[in-house]
Amino acid sequence: MVAVSPPAKVLVTGANGYLAVWVVKKYLEAGYAVRGTVRSLTKSAFLKDRFSHYGDRFELVVVEDITKDGAFDEAVKGVDAIAHTASPFHFKATDPDELIVPAVRGTTSILNSILKHGTAVKRLVLTSSIVAVLEQTTTPRVFNETSWNNSAVEAVKAKGSAVGPATIYFASKTLAEKAAWDFVATHKSEISWDLVAINPPYVFGPSLTPALTVDDINTSQRDVYDTLSGARTSAQLRNQGNWVHVAVAAEAHVRATHVAAAGGERIIVTSGPFFYQDLLDAAAELGIPNVPRGEPGSTKGTQILVNVEANKAKELLGLTSATPLKDLVEESVKDFKERGYPGFTA
């Protein structure tokens, strides 16, 4: 296990993604140099503008198709660490291959490139997901970093597209992370780097991408917008999950890079459980106008079915403070107003 500290150079894949832009920001603020991969320089020009004050400490390279063999061969040369964030995230897939193929092949592609050309790499931080940990349950269960969502994988194998887009996504993240750990085990005598998996739940918080329309909001933060704009039924407001602020999830990647003891670990990063009604209750507490109230307090005392032990984030990475849900709501409403989103015009 080797710590990779500033001013080392880190490769961030999919650098224009919702979480990835925050990851780039956190690395640069910590003193690292960053090379980001994007599919198109034209569509990612905002990154050069946003981080222009870091000069040559920030650069972009084009990787048009992350699933192709050798796609990352040039990108991995000369970097000391890698944060592999690039992977599709949505609940619209009608065919398992739509998500599973790019998730798994994108991961194995960069792993093979590191094996062949990443001679300076000492650590790979993989953006996995809590859905690779949790399984759906109707009775209270406790999950931790030893847990795997094998049921989603088995469901896709048995039923294919009939399982629905959410389960397909869960399987894609599980299979991609397992592929990474299997690769490390298979090639341990050949590699000089170690792997850390970061497993966040729903990632909420303002985007750093400019001129984002409502239709372009990333999948998780769109949940916040839909809830606060009144697009949730009473039943949906009682749905529960786990969440983490996007800035905390990004900071976890940076700390997983420079903390030597994080090598070889899966690390869940979460701010805790929530109900969608809690977002409306927080808005009411803040006195935010024009936000529906739903059924105030209706989730208080409701049993949490999915309980998560996430001790490693504190013990290894020193992430001790969970962002209050009220702060998330306040930040999100401010962001929605500044962007002029329907229902949130200033």
DSSP symbols for 85-118: ------S--SSTHHHHHHHHHHHHHHHHHHHHH-
Average pLDDT over residues 2-8: 92
Secondary structure (3-state) at 164: coil
Question: What's this model's pTM, rounded to 2 decimal places?
Answer: 0.94
64-68, 119-123, 154-158, 335-339: the lowest-pLDDT one: 64-68
How far, in Å, CA of 74 to CA of 115, rounded? Answer: 12
Beta-bridged to residue 240, according to DSSP, are 275
Beta-bridged to residue 142, according to DSSP, are 307
pLDDT at 240 over 90: yes
Q: Which residue has the tokens 């039923």?
A: 159
pLDDT for the residue 92: 65
Q: What's the pLDDT band for 234 if we cut at 50, 70, 90?
A: very high
**250-272 confidence digits (pLDDT tens):** 999 999 999 999 999 999 999 99
Question: Between residues 87 and 274, which one has the greater pLDDT?
Answer: 274
Question: Would you state the structure tokens that stand for residue 126, as one six-digit string?
Answer: 């993989």
pLDDT for the residue 99: 84
Please list, in sequence order, all residues whose beta carbon lies within 8 angstroms of the beta carbon of residue 127, skipping any fewer than 6 positions away. Answer: 19, 83, 84, 85, 87, 198, 200, 253
How far, in Å, CA of 144 to CA of 136, rounded? Answer: 14
| Domains of the chain, each with CATH number or no CATH | 9-338 (3.40.50.720)
